[in-house]
Chain A
Amino acid sequence: MNMIREWDWSTVIDAFPLIFKAMWITLGMTIACYAFALVFGLVWTFIRRVRIKPLQRLISFIMEFIRTTPPLVQLYFIYYAWPLVPYVGVTLDPITTSILGLGIHFSTYISEIYRSGIESVDKGQWEAATALNFSTRQKWTKIILPQAIPPTIPMLGNYLIIMFKEIPLTAAVGVGGMLLTAQKYGAKFYEYMEPLTLVALFFLLLSYPSSILVQKLEQKMNRRFDKKPGGSNNGKEVTAS
């Protein structure tokens, strides 16, 4: 086993601009995958509200399956196997693959958040809305969603951070974010320590302040409402590797 060699500042200076540039790709991918997950999560949530038992069971199963299998393999499936699927298969570039793969994977978690938000609204609110003769649409837009969404914002924020930390996975299908850039740099000059440490520090510097922000937001939300918002996961975070 090799010994750790000495830290070399000139390598840091050399690698920094490359990794800094790649950071924007990582951040862009985070936003794209996250946006896809937010929208697709909505789709799951609404399909699951359709009152057909077999459909609900099927959707629950599919979601569970997506949640409990590795996103890495899901990326491989989309990248390598999807083009071969008869009729619907098309070849997808690494970026589209990643948006679909991570987006769908995380949408199953996001959907649970939406659901917990909706379920946290007291039954009496539905009843009061009925008693005041609101239409179904008005009940959702005026009464239920304005109460269901705010308590979920900190949790959704948490998932943005989790998504950010999951983006290096896309290096496996060739998206040139920070990790792949460091890896390539390492392979070229055989100096992995500085670039990989830089990548780690970039992640820490971006995610730690964000998570403190989310915590603050959560405390603020808890104070704002009469009741304790239900479904909060109390700052617990999950990862989805």
Chain B
Amino acid sequence: MAISGYLDILSVLSRGLYYTISILIVSAIIGYIIAFVAGFGRISRFSFIRRFTMIYVEFFRGTSLIVQLFWFYYVLPLPNFWAGTLAIGLNYGAYMSEIVRGSILAVPKGQTEASIALNMSNWQRMRLVILPQALRMMLPEFGNYLIQMVKATSLVSLIGLTDITYQAMVYRASNIPQSIEVFVILLIVYFLIALPLIALTRWLERMSSKGVARE
């Protein structure tokens, strides 16, 4: 195939890049906020909060992301941008809340005891001692989930949002002999979007091995 053919494909895909990236950013923001809210909810002092967040988490982990996406789009019905970002954000938020909860609980008990011995308030203990250590454990996992979210953004093409996968499908429909090139380039574009996130995650993994108390 001539170079111009590849350039055609790239320019078509670039039209979808705006949606792919903005869906990723908005879902990630929703996901991280939900992760902390639900993560803290799971270890709340109040049993009704614990129970409520558990139901949320189990519901979103137990049903499939793509089913949730369709439900938001066809049943509620939300505009496709918000159906996409909410489904991805709420779904990944549920998964990541387990990371938040797990990391906070994984900080050794001795750290809590030392903070009590230093007469810190509950809030001080969380802010100064527990969270800084828990965050180091969370961040690499958050990075991993961000890479997963890049892949998940492709699902929004199924509800008619014109992301890069959607654009590729449209281009392919009228250029069937170029199917191989279209999808190979599309896969490479996704890989290139994920590449900096992979590097970031590896870096976070290295950083996280420092400065956490071990039992």
Contacts and interface: CB of A to CB of B under 8 A. Distances in A.
Nearest to A89: B180
Contacts of B98: 235-237
Interface size class of A (residues with CB under 8 A): 35 or more
A168 B102 contact: no
Interface string B37-68: 00000000000000000000011011111111
A187 B66 CA distance: 17
Interface string A97-132: 000000000000000000000000000000000000
A200 B147 CA distance: 25
Contact of B67 (A1, A64, A168, A234): A168
A70 B21 CA distance: 14
Contacts of B71: 196-197, 200
Contacts of A55: none
A207 B62 contact: yes
Contacts, number: 147
Interface string A157-185: 00000000111110110000001001100
Interface residues of B, number: 54
B191 interface: yes
Contacts of B165: 70, 72-73, 76
A186 interface: yes
Given A72-B154, A196-B75, A197-B75, A81 B68 contact: no
A239 B78 CA distance: 24
B9 interface: no
A151 to B, nearest CB: 19
Given A68-B147, A68-B191, A81 B70 contact: no
Given A72-B158, A72-B165, A73-B165, 11 more contacts: A70-B151, A70-B165, A72-B155, A74-B187, A77-B187, A81-B182, A200-B63, A200-B67, A203-B63, A235-B102, A239-B148
Interface of B: 58-59, 61-68, 70-71, 74-79, 91-92, 95, 98-99, 102, 141, 144-145, 147-148, 150-155, 157-158, 165, 168-169, 172, 177, 179-180, 182-184, 186-187, 190-191, 194-195, 198
